[in-house]
Amino acid sequence: MLTDYHVHLRPDDEDTPPGRYFTPANADRYRAVAGERGIEELGVAEHVYRFSQALEVWDHPFWRPWAVDDLDDYCAFVRSDTDLRLGIEADFVPGREDRMANLLESREWDYVVGSVHFVSDMAVDLDDEWDIWRRGESPERVWKRYFEWVAEAARTGMYDIMAHPDLIKVHGSARPRPEGDLRRYYEPAVEAFLDAGVAVEMSTAGLRKPVGELYPSRPFLELIAEAGCPVALSSDAHVPDQLGFRYDDAVQALADVGITELAVYDRRERRMEPIG
């Protein structure tokens, strides 16, 4: 089986109203492309901050202009008008775990994808005034804090899958990277994944970004495989054509480290299925 779970039905642009994208016709477009690419298990995971309810969790100036759609309308659309799995990509916001847990627990997801896009109030993957690298902190400090947040996010137990676990590298050579063996950052994160029993995402999205690598990197993936953490496969597509993007590379990387099964979800119950 092949899965694509971390999928968005619309691009990350401001003018992407649900009336245009949360439609059976758009869902059919995704289903058709997934079918052509041999992806049977298809689900969506819209950003939590695109919904007004997210402001009850975190009223951050970055979220405010985005948080306009209704979360329950999204859930009802996916459940009633599509045959897609229902997921959500929910940011980790320390200190707001109870509020996020309330938002998540009051809806019936197939899975919850956990993401660290922000460390404190600075962004890991933006190239604007929120860019974490604008503070002039050392790469050692930035990476250490990012991976501490990833570990802490996993340990909340709120998530089924940890998304793009080394997103901090997204900008590639355009930002500094710590010297030496990077496993010192990965090891505590893997320990947290294992303790939490959470799955880790193999994401091909990094191949479309300046870094040009899979998330997680090979040494990180080796540690994940050694620890026996379940792995979920996704493209983080924002348009149908990105579904299953470069899955051959991902499947090969998984095979290289001896991973033969993927995590599959139904109403937050996980089972493992052979890859392929």
Which residue lies nearer to Zn ion by CB, 69 or 236? 236
Q: Which stretch binds Zn ion (CB under 5 A): 90-98, 134-142, 231-239, 257-265?
A: 231-239
Sheet strands (E) in the chain:
3-4, 41-47, 85-91, 111-115, 118-119, 122-123, 161-162, 199-203, 231-234, 261-266, 269-274
Look up tokens 């009223």; give the residue.
59
Which residues on neighbouring strands pair with residue 270, listed in sequence order?
265
- Nearest-CB residue to Zn ion? 115
Per-residue x/- track, 88-107, Zn ion (CB under 5 A): -x------------------
Among 115, 204, 217, 234, indicate the residue that binds Zn ion (CB under 5 A): 115
| Contact status: 234 vs Zn ion (CB under 5 A) | no
Q: How far is the CB of 258 from Zn ion (least distance, A)?
A: 27
Measured between alpha carbons, how far is 142 from 133 in angstroms, rounded to an integer?
8
Q: How far is the CB of 179 from Zn ion (least distance, A)?
A: 27
Which residue lies nearer to Zn ion by CB, 165 or 230? 165
Q: How far is the CB of 167 from Zn ion (least distance, A)?
A: 7
Of 9, 43, 42, nearest in space to 23 by CA: 9
Which residue lies nearer to Zn ion by CB, 89 or 213? 89
Which residue lies nearer to Zn ion by CB, 89 or 110? 89
Measured between alpha carbons, how far is 41 from 20 in angstroms, rounded to an integer?
24
- Residue 59 DSSP label: -
Q: Any residues with CB less than 8 A from the CB of 95 and at least 6 apart, and which?
A: none
Q: How far is the CB of 226 from Zn ion (least distance, A)?
A: 25
User: Are 6 and 113 a contacting pair, CB within 8 Å?
Assistant: yes
User: Are 240 and 29 a contacting pair, CB within 8 Å?
Assistant: yes
Which residue lies nearer to Zn ion by CB, 152 or 261? 152
At 220, list the tokens: 């990180």
Which residue lies nearer to Zn ion by CB, 31 or 117? 117
Burial of 50 (0-12, 13-18, 19+ CB in 10 A): buried
Report residue 187: phi and psi, to 5°.
Answer: -55, -50
- Total residues binding Zn ion (CB under 5 A): 3
Which residue lies nearer to Zn ion by CB, 4 or 89? 89
Among 46, 92, 236, 265, indicate the residue that binds Zn ion (CB under 5 A): 236
Q: Which stretches of the chain bind Zn ion, using CB under 5 A?
A: 89, 115, 236
